[in-house]
């Protein structure tokens, strides 16, 4: 199982508009003009489902496997599947973090709302990270730094995104209370932290010798995007031209950044089977691409059908549960197929994992609601 690709995000997977009842499964919504108009954002549900499935596919090495197979045909060097993995699939967690942070910023951020959100994330972190530590029994590196890393990685690799959400919530709240030039200074600090992370991870192909996707500073641009987008959501939803202009600008920034990043990609002679051509999250292009995707999703008007709504409602639960069972499910599918259709083992394993985890998430939610656990 790969440990270098990663979620869907908690708050981002499950958060709804601040106007929605957090105990309900209402779709994401946005309140404009001081409560006079309630806007439904179906695009966020589509993104949750697409990237949730994308992350599970990454965790069973579907994309990396396809890249390796393609390399066997056309030779070494990054190919289509490598670019898909690093430029598309890798936007999953940043998109979820941005959605979550954006919904947090829709209404004025207060210390009360911040504390309420941190409490919710704290319970989420304690429950799932404890379960994961018991399940995976991670090895703790010696010293204080080892403990900090284990904490930020969520007990290993699966739940690091909850720690990222906690840090990004604190960063967003801290910047939001600033005004004028001080807010710009706060954003500059956030950008500086991100840039320092990019430079450190990129120095001498550092990313090929360790796992750094979990560093919270890899996502430090997203609170700046969220704080800028939040007061403009109403106009972006209504004004198609403005939405596309902004998306085009973000895409252009992402493309330029990606061209520079891939120019410094790892030489093929240093690449192992994990195919770490570029850092996963410590790249400017990923944050720009995530912002572009979220902006475009504001224009989606088609209400999700029952299946997408069901999966969107359970996206957080599916993600949190899949790491415990996905390996066994894929092996089980392989045994059922008996080697007759090897190309279908992983895709069917992903579908089966999503279905089992969705049912499991519904059961756990109802069990907790009825105080059965």
Q: Which residues contact 310 (CB under 8 A, 6 or more apart)?
A: 358
**132, 156 Cβ separation under 8 angstroms:** yes
Residues 156-191 as b or e (16 or more Cβ within 10 Å = b): bbbbbbbbbbbbbbebbbebbeeeeeeeeebbeebe
pLDDT tens per residue across span 262-315: 999 999 888 888 899 999 999 999 999 999 999 999 999 898 999 999 999 899
* pLDDT value for 35: 39
Which of residues 339 and 367 earns the better pLDDT score? 367
DSSP state of 305: -
Domain ranges of the chain: 10-305, 314-373
Q: Is 362 exposed, middle or buried (0-12, 13-18, 19+ CB in 10 A)?
A: middle
Q: How far is CA 180 from the centre of its chain?
A: 30
* pLDDT value for 373: 67
pLDDT tens per residue across span 179-223: 889 999 999 999 999 999 999 998 888 888 888 999 999 999 999
User: Taking 50 as the threshold, does the pLDDT of residue 11 lie above it?
Assistant: no
Q: Write phi, then psi, for 344 (nearest 5 degrees).
A: -95, -5
Q: Which residue has the tokens 């992402």?
A: 254
**172, 230 Cβ separation under 8 angstroms:** no
pLDDT tens per residue across span 32-78: 333 334 556 899 999 999 999 999 999 999 999 999 999 989 988 99
Predicted model pTM: 0.87
Which of 1-15, 93-107, 284-298 bottoms out in mean pLDDT, i.e. has the lowest? 1-15
Mean per-residue pLDDT over the chain, rounded:
87
* pLDDT value for 40: 67
């Amino acid at each position: 199982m790969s440990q270098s690709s990663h979620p869907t995000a908690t708050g981002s997977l499950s958060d709804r508009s601040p106007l929605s009842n957090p105990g309900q499964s209402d779709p994401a919504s946005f309140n404009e003009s001081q409560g006079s108009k309630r806007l439904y954002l179906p695009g966020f549900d589509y993104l949750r489902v697409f990237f949730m499935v994308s992350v599970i596919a990454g965790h069973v090495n579907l994309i990396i496997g396809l890249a390796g197979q393609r390399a066997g045909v056309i030779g070494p060097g990054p190919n289509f599947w490598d670019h898909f993995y690093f430029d598309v699939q890798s936007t999953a967690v940043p998109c979820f973090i941005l959605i979550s942070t954006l919904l947090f910023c829709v209404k004025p951020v207060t210390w009360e709302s911040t504390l309420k959100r941190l409490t919710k994330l704290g319970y989420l972190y304690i429950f799932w990270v404890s379960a994961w530590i018991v399940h995976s029994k991670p090895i703790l590196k010696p010293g204080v730094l080892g403990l900090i890393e284990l904490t930020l990685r969520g007990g290993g690799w699966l739940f690091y995104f909850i720690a990222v959400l906690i840090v990004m919530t604190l960063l967003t709240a801290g910047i939001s209370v600033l005004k004028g030039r001080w807010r710009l200074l706060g954003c500059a600090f956030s950008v500086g932290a991100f840039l320092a992370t990019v430079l450190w991870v990129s120095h001498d192909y550092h990313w090929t010798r360790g796992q750094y996707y979990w560093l919270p500073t890899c996502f430090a641009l997203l609170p700046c995007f969220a704080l800028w987008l939040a007061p403009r959501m109403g106009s972006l939803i209504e004004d198609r031209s403005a939405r596309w202009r902004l998306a085009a600008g973000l895409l252009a920034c992402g493309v330029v950044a990606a061209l520079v990043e891939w120019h410094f990609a790892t030489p093929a002679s240093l690449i192992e089977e994990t195919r770490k051509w570029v850092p996963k999250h410590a790249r400017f292009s990923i944050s720009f691409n995530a912002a572009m995707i979220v902006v475009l999703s504001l224009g989606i008007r088609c209400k999700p059908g029952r299946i997408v709504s069901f999966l969107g409602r359970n996206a957080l639960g599916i993600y949190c549960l899949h790491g415990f069972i996905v390996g066994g499910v894929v092996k089980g599918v392989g045994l059922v197929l008996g080697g007759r259709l090897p190309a279908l083992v992983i895709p069917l394993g992903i579908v089966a994992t999503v279905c089992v985890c969705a049912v499991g998430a519904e059961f756990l939610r109802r069990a907790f609601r009825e105080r059965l656990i």
